[in-house]
């Protein structure tokens, strides 16, 4: 601003500056920068879908969860196992009883075990559609069960609870979460974003913002790494000394055990067993199923792995006052029955 005097009057004149002319490239960069800043502000709330035009397609998300379904290279242990190992396992075992709701449907007059089975069976392919980890799927079921244990839920809001729990679990263990509009589209747009966000806040208040919990995925990955570490130790620490057959069998057992655990997530009866016990029994059952399927060609390899799982199960029984040998056998028998009743679904998985 420039001022000058003319007798008694004071005149002010705004200094004019030449207009900056942006080139087309600079205009595109400026527009892109504004959009990125806006997305950064809104992404934490899950509302960045307003800036996208595609209603169905979801970009590939990369997560930081150590418990991915993607396995490490052959002959190598998981990074989290090398860093934490038994310490992380003991911490999760100590927290297991506190975060394991055994009777989540006891206070639900409108919900049944069959309705829960249908919802979890629906959530499993939904989480795979968004390429979320198995840890995320297990945690979403755990969040849902803990909320059901504290708050009655109407039958017509049960599906909304499922997708909200999945959204919270993805925010907890994944780098990026699915867009709210995509989650609601799987519900045939029966609910609104406002309803989902309100329920999300209610879940956080009921759980006192304690979302992380020991899950089937964690214990399954830990036990698999224990077997892998034992095989690596027997080979003198040389990962190249291990045969390809050993690594292949272990991965087959781990994949089959994960499928068995997916079936157990939907069955309300398995809420009576702690996740560590279910994961160990699933690995042991997977070993038996593979040995029956493949015959005696790899009998020696399977026998050595069964010995390792036997020692792990004995350790579970000695460390926990609730996990007695009869409970271990009961869990394993129920898993075997569950697999026999869902053989076709297991093949599809």
What number of CA atoms fall less than 13 Å from residue 275's CA on the CB side?
30
Give the residue among 267, 257, 262, 221 at the shortest CA–CA distance from 128. 262
Cα dihedral sign for 234, 236, 237, 239?
negative
Check if the beta carbon of residue 331 is closer than 8 Å to that of residue 281. yes
Check if the beta carbon of residue 328 is closer than 8 Å to that of residue 317. yes
What is the per-residue pLDDT for 291? 78
Fold of 214-348: Cyclin A; domain 1 (1.10.472)
Fold of 101-206: Cyclin A; domain 1 (1.10.472)
What is the per-residue pLDDT for 38? 46
Check if the beta carbon of residue 170 is closer than 8 Å to that of residue 212. no
pLDDT, one tens digit per residue, over 136-167 is 999 999 999 999 999 999 999 999 999 999 99
Check if the beta carbon of residue 345 is closer than 8 Å to that of residue 290. no
Q: Which residues of the chain have pLDDT under 50?
A: 2, 4, 11-12, 38-71, 74-75, 296-298, 320-322
Return the H-helix or E-strand segment holding 143. Answer: helix 134-148
Structure tokens, 200: 């999300």
- Coil vs helix vs strand at 179: coil
Compute, in degrees rounded to 10, the torsion defined by CA atoms 110, 111, 112, 116: 170
What is the per-residue pLDDT for 290? 83
Structure tokens, 224: 């698999």
Q: What is the Cα–Cα distance from 119 to 32, expressed in whole angstroms? A: 40
Q: What is the Cα–Cα distance from 223 to 77, expressed in whole angstroms? A: 12
Give the residue among 124, 131, 125, 134 at the shortest CA–CA distance from 60. 131
What is the per-residue pLDDT for 319? 54
What is the per-residue pLDDT for 267? 94
CB atoms within 10 A of CB 170: 26
What is the per-residue pLDDT for 162? 96
Structure tokens, 254: 């781990």
What is the per-residue pLDDT for 169? 96
């Amino acid at each position: 601003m420039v001022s000058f005097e003319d007798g008694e009057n004071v005149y002010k004149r705004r200094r004019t500056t030449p207009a900056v002319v942006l080139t087309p490239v600079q205009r595109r960069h400026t527009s892109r920068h504004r959009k990125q800043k806006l997305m950064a502000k809104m992404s934490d709330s899950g509302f960045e879908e307003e800036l996208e035009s595609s209603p169905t397609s979801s970009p590939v998300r990369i997560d930081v969860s150590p418990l991915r379904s993607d396995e490490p290279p052959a002959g190598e242990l998981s990074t989290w196992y090398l860093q934490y190992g038994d310490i992380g396992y003991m911490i999760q075992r100590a927290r297991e009883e506190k975060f394991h709701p055994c009777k989540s449907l006891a206070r639900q007059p409108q919900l049944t075990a069959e309705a829960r089975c249908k919802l979890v069976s629906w959530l499993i392919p939904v989480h795979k559609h968004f390429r979320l980890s198995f840890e995320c799927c297990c945690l979403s079921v755990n969040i849902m069960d803990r909320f059901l244990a504290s708050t009655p839920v109407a039958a017509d809001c049960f599906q909304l609870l499922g997708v909200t729990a999945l959204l919270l679990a993805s925010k907890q263990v994944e780098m990026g979460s699915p867009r709210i509009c995509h989650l609601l589209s799987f519900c045939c747009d029966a609910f609104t974003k406002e309803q989902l966000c309100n329920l999300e806040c209610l879940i956080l208040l009921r759980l006192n913002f304690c979302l992380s919990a020991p899950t089937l995925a964690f214990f399954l990955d830990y036990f698999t790494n224990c077997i892998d570490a034992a095989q690596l130790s027997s080979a003198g620490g040389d990962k190249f000394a291990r045969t390809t057959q050993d690594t292949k069998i272990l991965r087959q057992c781990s994949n089959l055990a994960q499928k068995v655990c997916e079936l157990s997530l939907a069955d309300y009866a398995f809420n009576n067993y702690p996740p560590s016990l279910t994961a160990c029994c699933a690995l042991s059952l997977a070993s038996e199923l593979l040995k029956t399927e493949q015959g005696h060609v790899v009998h020696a390899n399977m026998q050595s792995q069964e010995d390792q799982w036997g020692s792990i199960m004995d350790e579970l029984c000695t460390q926990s006052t609730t996990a007695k040998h009869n409970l271990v056998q009961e869990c394993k028998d129920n898993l075997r029955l569950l697999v026999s009743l869902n053989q076709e679904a297991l093949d599809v998985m």
